[in-house]
Amino acid sequence: MLLARLRTIAVDLDDTLNNFTQTLHETPFVYHNRYALEPALFDEYLDRLRTDPWAVEELLSTEFSYFRAKIHLECYQRAQARADGIAFMQWLKREGWRTVICTHRDLRTSYDTTKAWLERNEIPFDYIFRAGNKIVFCKLWGIDILVDDHLFNIQHGGRYGVRVFYPVNDLNRTVREDGARGFQTFDQIKSWIAE
């Protein structure tokens, strides 16, 4: 009965609770042999990564995908947490919400880094999940609120009964919403989830 009464919210990490893209673009990554690449390829791959960080390739495991995983991992460590995001997550905890960190990250390789980052920033959470499709995940797990910046979720969440709240950024500023609401500060969500 207690489980049924708990309200649950799913919250994304990258470009929602942190500044992942800014970190990817502004960090002065320096060539090192741990990338297992020729120096010329390092620059080429870094440019490619910054142009299209989530490019889908035909092959799953490639030299580029290996490089991308390494750079992303560095970004996960370096990214800054949003102060209002931290305060919001702490508020959720105090209010008795069950919180699920819901991310696209490959947690096999990034779980330790992700957990350490959350703890370092004093962001409370109950579970961490990787979901290829967050709308499907939320629907299956009975989670009706998702905080996430991704266009796909903003556009499709409402149709499946998932209310999506998103930090407004250059990519989603003009998106046609389906019941989703953009926010400037996490504080705005508090009143929306009380509705």
Partner 1 sequence: MDRRVALIKEFYLGLPTDRVKLEASAFGFEFLSQLQAHGMQLEYGELTLSKVLHKYKLANITQTQMYELLAWHVAKLCNVCLYFDRRANSVLAFNLDNNHATNGSRLIPEVQLAVRTLVEKLNELDCKPLVIASGRGYHIWCRLRAAIANDRLYRFMLHTAAGALLTLQRRGLDPNNMKFTLYPDLRIQDLVSLRLFGSEHAKNQVFSRILVGDDLLDEEASWAYFEDYLESNTLALDTFDKAYDAVVTSATPVIAKAS
* Contact set with partner 1 (CB under 8 A): 3, 6, 8, 56-62, 98, 107-109, 111, 115, 127-133, 136-137, 140-142
Instruction: Supply the minimum distance, in Å, between the C-beta of residue 156 and partner 1.
Output: 15
Residue closer to partner 1 by CB (options 6, 171) is: 6
Instruction: Supply the minimum distance, in Å, between the C-beta of residue 133 and partner 1.
Output: 6
Residue closer to partner 1 by CB (options 102, 167) is: 102
CA gap 42, 36 in Å, rounded: 9
CB atoms under 10 Å from CB of 129, counted, come to 15
Contact 149, 12 (CB under 8 A): yes
Residue 16, Cα to own-chain centre: how many angstroms?
6
Question: Which H helix or E strand runs over 99?
Answer: strand 98-103
Instruction: Supply the minimum distance, in Å, between the C-beta of residue 65 and partner 1.
Output: 10
Instruction: Supply the minimum distance, in Å, between the C-beta of residue 11 and partner 1.
Output: 15
**Structure-token pair, residue 170:** 């250059």
